[in-house]
Amino acid sequence: MSGTAGEARRSGRPRQGEPLLERAFKILGAFTTSGGSLPLHVLASRAELPKSTTSRIAAQLVGVGALERLENGDFVVGLQMLEIASLAPRGHGLRAAALPFMEDLHRATRQHILLAVLDGHEAVLVERLSALGATAVKYRVGGRLPLDTTGIGIALLAHAAEQVREDVLAKSSRPVHVRQLMAMVRTEGVCAMSGPNPVDDGPATVSTVAAPILGRGSEALGAISLVAPEEVCTKLAPRVALRTSSLAISRALLSAATPGHG
């Protein structure tokens, strides 16, 4: 380790030459684990930046609407970020095509219906429909989900690039089981799995049924899943419903992308 790099880590100063944009995204990224408000000292700690640097950049972000400052001095993500994020084509187009089918599933099951896309070695949740009485779940819209321990992640992983699959499997604690679930996705178009509930409220075990939303080349454009108590997901009907919905969403996306459609 060079003296300069070591001093930067010990002092908390940004790396020499680190662009302002990178530091700004570190500050914005500090909200990904909370989604709520953060005081300056917590924001600085999570961004791994000095308080003075964090304060200066956060003030600039407030000025452009990327952050907002509450009366108590805490920071929250600004509405400008929501407006910009809603324009992301992978999430926006998929969400528009999927919502009618997600709403049908939601009305029929009264449970959580999730929609996600692949981003690197993780899934990003772009929509979630939930009923008041549904099992409590951990993930929020915009949150990231692991690919090897969630149904929706495995549905995406089954049709991801080979290098992504191998990278995820190399770090997984249960690669054999993940390979079996991916094989189920590729042969049956759907996978089902159960596991401990990461949220204290509700049953100890939750289950999920998930299906990929495929493009013409069998690449995953996204994935859809149902998260519910175990007794719901063990039945055949949810699997058929998820598979049918994923195929319908795929057709809607491909139809919309066809030149001259409409």
The pLDDT of 18-46, averaged and rounded, is: 83
SS3 138: coil
Mean pLDDT, the chain, whole residue set:
84
Question: Residues 108-125: pLDDT tens digits?
Answer: 888 899 999 999 999 989
Angle at 107 between CA 104 and CA 113, to 5 degrees: 75
Residue 234 has pLDDT above 80, yes or no: no
- pTM for the whole structure: 0.71
Q: Decide: residue 75, CB within 10 A, 0-12 exposed, 13-18 middle, 19+ buried.
A: buried
DSSP H/E element including 148: none
Closest to 193 measured CA to CA, from 181, 179, 185, 211 = 181
What size, in residues, is the chain? 262
Report DSSP letters for 167-212, one per residue: HHHHH-S-HHHHHHHHHHHHHHS-EEEEEE-SSSSS-SEEEEEEEE
Question: Residues 39-62: pLDDT tens digits?
Answer: 999 999 988 899 999 999 999 999
C-alpha to C-alpha distance for 76 and 103, rounded to whole angstroms: 30
What number of other Cβ atoms are within 10 A of residue 152's Cβ?
28
Best mean pLDDT range from 163-177, 183-197, 199-213: 163-177
Please tell me the CATH code under which domain 3-82 is placed. Answer: 1.10.10.10
Third-level CATH fold of 89-257? Beta-Lactamase (3.30.450)
Whole-number pLDDT of residue 2:
43
DSSP label at residue 38: B
The pLDDT of 56-85, averaged and rounded, is: 86
C-alpha to C-alpha distance for 149 and 138, rounded to whole angstroms: 13
Q: Which one has a higher pLDDT value, 219 or 36?
A: 219
Domain extents for the chain? Answer: 3-82, 89-257
Question: Residues 241-255: pLDDT tens digits?
Answer: 999 999 999 999 888
Whole-number pLDDT of residue 98:
93
